[in-house]
Amino acid sequence: MNKRYLLEVMEREIARAVRQQSLLSVTMLDIDHFKSINDTYGHLIGDEVLKQFGGRVANVSRCDDLLARYGGEEFCLLMAGTDLAEACEIAERCRQVVANTPFQTEVGPLDISASFGVACLDPVRAISTLDFLQLADQKLYDAKSAGRNCVCS
């Protein structure tokens, strides 16, 4: 899924969460030092890493969560009916499945890690899709500042 599809779904899910006073969480995921992978090994290897990354995260996410590529090496995971604690647990599972096993590529195994920023919607007040994403993006920035390869909420 791409950014355009993500934004369309998020707009509907935010409206639903506010209307039904239900939970909604979003996680921004970013592969650590991805530029150096492309610069060192080339974009074809970078593409291999992106495909494996998306597959690993999708495999440990729930079937009704939406994983979409947001841009570059950044992904977004939208989780309906999920509070902050559960969203952080899911993000940690994703972090571990990325960091604990090297990625198999044409140039050999590569150790990859990722940083995660998690935000939970306050269903009492409406918020725009972009503002909601900005909350998660700020937490992602906190994870990068904290040394990468971690989850911040």
- Catalytic (active-site) positions: 73
Tokens of 129: 């899709």
- What angle is formed at CA 73 by the lines to CA 52 and CA 54, rounded to 5 degrees? 25
